[in-house]
Structure 1
């Protein structure tokens, strides 16, 4: 009866990990041979792991990554696409996010820009930071709708709080005149305080013409490119390759 009461109290205190581990220990004879310090230490360790896993699950769910299984451990460096391995390994530690540095992936379709951005996004989530993935056309529609409903500032503040914002398909379609200012507001709300990944088929030197309005283009590029790691990919499309082929190419 005492154990049942203890389990209920642990759950009332939202110590679900400790309750789960205690229930696991109860029928285990070897657990009875552990010292009090070892048993309580095991309960605390399990609670810590339980909370960490729960937070990671929530971060990944909220990130809405396009490639949910992408991870830095599976990056293919064998393909000739100008991907710098030391740079990617340095990005894997997440310090660039803590230092509010941006990353730009540019290159032809199918060279893995979105996948690589999701792999880094996954890694950032694993380090306990928040991520949000969105295609630029949908992002602009979202901001335009927010203006129409009077919730633009609220939505802008929400987007500004993500440790890492991944903007996919930059340059896939022209930026509407009414959205250029919104894009500028978003970039300005994150500069110097948060990190952004941008993927684009358009090389960086053509971004100015893509944005259109000279004044806004100057302001956006100054804020985005000023503190960015630029990864210019090249080569043939990687789409359609099987997992087996990719692993074989890495050997």
Structure 2
């Protein structure tokens, strides 16, 4: 497998950087696609041994990309495609299965899960060659969602440092970029709620939730995910959406204070 590429299909830069760091440390070659369309083009031109596919992306989503990749025939009829999603339910599992995706893992994927994926697929001699497009790998077991336990901590810095393979510079830069991104999006999300542009709200909070989870900021990720789900339902009132955003904002400002404390301790 190590002579082939792992293709990461992910539109959020922080998630790309973290997966790149982890996969390269494990000794695999890597390609990155920013959306489903780019993923299909990579498959046409490169030798891909595994695809890690986000579902919610611009231009072309993960379901559509998987169908097109399966349509390339040849080796891509059976190349393992693992979807990555913040939440996993029966509907998402069904959509993955009908798209030719082998399985789905809950974000943040993390080093441990990556290791389990590689072990399950590639231990022994070319085990992945025997996988069928409709085979389920049961990486997660039963459907579930991101760790529901509120750990009572704004950000687990030591755990985050481990997930970033000890690269403190990249971790700190990622935290800084995350804060700048959230700061720039809050006013836009407020306006989108006012304009009833719920798809914009859903997409922005989806990205924030996933990035927060990658930084081990579990409670913040949960609050963003709650607003994401509310926007996706198309049933929440303006007041409900606004109250959810206000709850997120209040916690986020406390979160920023916690980050400042960490920075001062680091000198």
What's the TM-score once normalised by structure 1's chain length? Answer: 0.25
User: Whose RCO is larger (CA < 8 A, sep 6+)?
Assistant: 1
* Higher gyration radius (CA): 1
What's the TM-score once normalised by structure 2's chain length? Answer: 0.24
